[in-house]
A and B are shown apart, each in its own frame.
Chain A
Amino acid sequence: MARTLTILQAINEALDQEMARDSSVIVMGEDVVGGSGAEGEMDAWGGPLGVTKGLYGKYGDRMLDTPITESAFIGAAVGAAASGLRPVAELMFSDFVGVCFDQIYNQAAKFRYMFGGRAETPVVVRTMYGAGLRAAAQHSQSPYSIFTHVPGLKCVMPVTPYDAKGLLIQAIRDNDPVIFFEHKGLYETEGEVPEQSYSIPFGEANVVREGNDVSIISLGLMVHRSLEAAETLAGEGIQCEVVDLRTTSPLDEDTVLESAENTGRVVVVDEAPPRCSIATDISALIAQHAFDALEAPISLVTAPHTPVPFAGVLEDQYMPDATRIAAAVRSVAGYAP
């Protein structure tokens, strides 16, 4: 039976159901249980935004509050995963990865390979990303391309409650390290979610709108803005196909190429800065494998190559919005050599 949940509730339900199903699943991070110096459920914050609220009462010491020491607890989670548990660690802001990158990049991502397939590291790092919340340059970035670059890591960024639950369950059951990106601006997004447990395989992009004129390849919050632009453009007679990548590693190359080959006109929308990004990666993929189908140059709609501004008016300019996406689509749709 499906009900309407927010992404925040869907993530909570996925954690709850997997912790109930598998006693090796543990949760650790800053304030995932309590906060403000009080003990446990008496003052259960459930993470800075309440994503893990209510789980302490059910799972007790499988919910671990940690000090503000990412280097320690991400390392502990990786070690616990390598030795039999399935930890879900909460790295509050993905911007903080700098202090625990060795644990992720040079340890967790390498174990399976370096031990000849005899070691597994089933750790999930849940982490917030994205701009728009006036949280300034150190709490607003979208660094998913840094993780996508690393062989051995899987990168997931759900944009609907249905996907959030199914992809997180898959992440927890997966035997490799998974970085699970949660956009701060999407937690309250609502949608239908089945009560039962289910898992969505990685590497399966979602065509969220069908159209034959222009492909918009997108991820994260940008999928919603792309849909908004597509709606406007439909009124002008331009039918967009909007592809939500869902996971950047593994990447569903087939769906991207199929769409590009169908329309011959492609706009890639990415909230992150433009260099060495998912946008450039997708663009290279299409240029390499679907060149003959292209009717126009590939257009990239991204943030500029700057830190995320703190001033609200600048931050709004920084993030790609439906207006900019629509303008790019019009230009690609009208391109003639």
Chain B
Amino acid sequence: MSGSDMRALVMPKWGLTMTQGVVVKWLVDEGADVEQGAELLDVETEKILSAVESPANGVLRRRAVAEGSTIPVGGLLGVIADADVADEAIDGFAATFEAEFTPETEAVAGEGPSPQHVDVNGHSLRYLKLGEGGEPAVLVHGFGGDLNNWLFNHEALSAVRAVYALDLPGHGESSKNVGDGTVGLLAQVVAGFMDALELPSAHLAGHSLGGAIAAELADKAPDRVRSLSLIASVGLGREFRPGFLDGFATARRRRQIKPVLDALFADPALVTRRLVNEVLQYKRLDGVEEALAGIAGNLVADGEQSVCIRERLATYPGRVLVIWGADDQVVPASHASGLPDGMHVEVIDAVGHMPMMEASARVNQVLAAHFEGRLTA
């Protein structure tokens, strides 16, 4: 930020259905120096609790809203500017912003893109496409997840390309049959999904189990995978949090699932009652427990991962990005070391197994640069 520039800090839009958020807590005082990406305040929506990050380097000159207030998406939260910008100018900027701002109405919010279903090899798959054109990207969630795991990433990545997020078989609102539940089968389903949507090739980003699936596809059909992004991926080492998969697959109650979910995040405060309820609602659907058990049996045996993609990665000719949270308690960040040459490795401090949620700004930045070939090993 230079000279008289001022930047509005606004209520972000996390996911299609978000129309407003509640300011839970300011994390930074007025007058504090802030860096781009620094967490400024916690916001809670109907779905999630997360931090709003600074859009620029500068000074947080104004907190425009009090803790506890409900602000529509796009509404002013604060003003970032240099220390030498006059107070009057800041007030004027805020007043102009407020005067010109019209909140998105509920009706408009509901008119945007919505999830679709497509049939692939006998599986009905739910997916959401955001953005148009460019080299397309496909986002593949992990064990027990769904397309909403990309809530903080999907829209940001879709600025310059069509980005597809799907629910794997057995997950989200896709059908619950998972066949033999192997990574190979799931990779075939992702390939079938790309066929059905007429995507000859795409940038593939996978989280956890999704990483192994993306890597499997890159190995079997390298020409279909323009680049590979592996986030806290399965298949790069032996260790895996003991009891995690079974605990997740069999939990039916809040008291059972809460400690399992706590292990996903460096900051357990992110595991809100709402998040727990959403996971339980998914878990209660007929067929989910069997589907998850079927997949889990192929991922871990005798306490060790039974899927290995490390060697096969070396033969993949495309670009590979590996992202890990340094505090990952499910699959340790040590699995990001000793990888074949030529890969870009990004380990993010103070982040757990869900870096795309806990450090979304950084992950979005690195993924976008990787898709465009702007990262070096």
Q: Residues of A with Cβ closer than 8 Å to B?
A: 1, 162, 166, 194, 196-201, 204, 207, 210, 254-255
Most buried by B among A162, A198, A201, A254: A198
B253 at the binding interface (Cβ < 8 Å):
yes
Residues of A within 8 A of B255 (CB): 254
What's the Cα separation between A207 and B258 when bound, in Å? 14
Residues of A within 8 A of B285 (CB): 194, 196-198
Decide: B284 and A204 in contact? CB cutoff 8 A. Answer: no
In angstroms, how far is the closest chain A Cβ from the Cβ of B55? 30
Which residues of B225-255 are within 8 A (CB) of A? 252-255
Q: Residues of B with Cβ closer than 8 Å to A?
A: 173, 252-255, 273, 281, 284-286
Closest to A21 in B: B286
Residues of B within 8 A of A196 (CB): 285-286
What's the Cα separation between A207 and B273 when bound, in Å? 8
What's the Cα separation between A194 and B173 when bound, in Å? 9
Residues of A within 8 A of B281 (CB): 162, 194, 198
Q: What are 14 A-B pairs at a CB distance below 8 A?
A: A1-B173, A166-B284, A194-B281, A194-B285, A196-B285, A198-B281, A198-B284, A198-B285, A200-B284, A201-B252, A201-B253, A204-B253, A254-B255, A255-B254
Closest to A204 in B: B253
What's the Cα separation between A289 and B273 when bound, in Å? 24
In angstroms, how far is the closest chain A Cβ from the Cβ of B271? 13
Residues of B within 8 A of A201 (CB): 252-253
What's the Cα separation between A162 and B280 when bound, in Å? 12
Closest to A169 in B: B286
Residues of B within 8 A of A199 (CB): 284, 286
Other A-B pairs, 17, CB within 8 Å; known A199-B286, A204-B254: A1-B173, A162-B281, A166-B284, A194-B285, A196-B285, A196-B286, A197-B285, A198-B281, A198-B284, A198-B285, A198-B286, A199-B284, A201-B252, A201-B253, A204-B253, A207-B273, A254-B255
Residues of B within 8 A of A166 (CB): 284
Residues of A within 8 A of B252 (CB): 201
Contacts A1-B173, A204-B253, A204-B254 given; indicate if A210 touches B273 (C-beta within 8 A).
Answer: yes
What's the Cα separation between A207 and B253 when bound, in Å? 13
What's the Cα separation between A207 and B285 when bound, in Å? 20
Residues of B within 8 A of A255 (CB): 254
In angstroms, how far is the closest chain B Cβ from the Cβ of A163? 11
In angstroms, how far is the closest chain B Cβ from the Cβ of A144? 22
Residues of B within 8 A of A194 (CB): 281, 285
In angstroms, how far is the closest chain B Cβ from the Cβ of A74? 29
In angstroms, how far is the closest chain B Cβ from the Cβ of A3? 12
Closest to A170 in B: B284
The 9 closest A-B pairs by CB, nearest first: A198-B284, A197-B286, A198-B285, A201-B252, A196-B285, A204-B253, A1-B173, A199-B284, A201-B253
Residues of B within 8 A of A210 (CB): 273
Closest to B277 in A: A206
In angstroms, how far is the closest chain B Cβ from the Cβ of A17? 9
Residues of B within 8 A of A162 (CB): 281
Residues of B within 8 A of A197 (CB): 285-286
What's the Cα separation between A200 and B253 when bound, in Å? 9
In angstroms, how far is the closest chain B Cβ from the Cβ of A91? 27
In angstroms, how far is the closest chain A Cβ from the Cβ of B245? 21
What's the Cα separation between A146 and B87 when bound, in Å? 68
In angstroms, how far is the closest chain B Cβ from the Cβ of A20? 12
Most buried by A among B252, B255, B284: B284
What's the Cα separation between A254 and B255 when bound, in Å? 9
In angstroms, how far is the closest chain A Cβ from the Cβ of B175? 9
Closest to A196 in B: B285
What's the Cα separation between A55 and B88 when bound, in Å? 69
In angstroms, how far is the closest chain B Cβ from the Cβ of A240? 15
What's the Cα separation between A198 and B286 when bound, in Å? 5
Residues of A within 8 A of B254 (CB): 204, 255
What's the Cα separation between A200 and B273 when bound, in Å? 16
In angstroms, how far is the closest chain A Cβ from the Cβ of B284? 4
What's the Cα separation between A201 and B255 when bound, in Å? 12
Closest to A210 in B: B273
Closest to A1 in B: B173
What's the Cα separation between A162 and B273 when bound, in Å? 17
Residues of A within 8 A of B253 (CB): 201, 204
Closest to B276 in A: A207
In angstroms, how far is the closest chain A Cβ from the Cβ of B308? 35
What's the Cα separation between A201 and B284 when bound, in Å? 9
Closest to B284 in A: A198
Residues of B within 8 A of A200 (CB): 284
In angstroms, how far is the closest chain B Cβ from the Cβ of A253? 12
Residues of B within 8 A of A1 (CB): 173
In angstroms, how far is the closest chain A Cβ from the Cβ of B67? 13
In angstroms, how far is the closest chain B Cβ from the Cβ of A308? 34
Residues of B within 8 A of A198 (CB): 281, 284-286
Most buried by B among A196, A210, A255: A196
What's the Cα separation between A210 and B49 when bound, in Å? 14
In angstroms, how far is the closest chain A Cβ from the Cβ of B44? 10
Closest to A192 in B: B281
Closest to B255 in A: A254
What's the Cα separation between A245 and B306 when bound, in Å? 43
What's the Cα separation between A326 and B366 when bound, in Å? 51
Residues of B within 8 A of A204 (CB): 253-254
What's the Cα separation between A122 and B310 when bound, in Å? 52
Residues of A within 8 A of B173 (CB): 1
What's the Cα separation between A194 and B282 when bound, in Å? 10
What's the Cα separation between A282 and B112 when bound, in Å? 47
Closest to A234 in B: B68
What's the Cα separation between A255 and B255 when bound, in Å? 9
What's the Cα separation between A204 and B255 when bound, in Å? 9
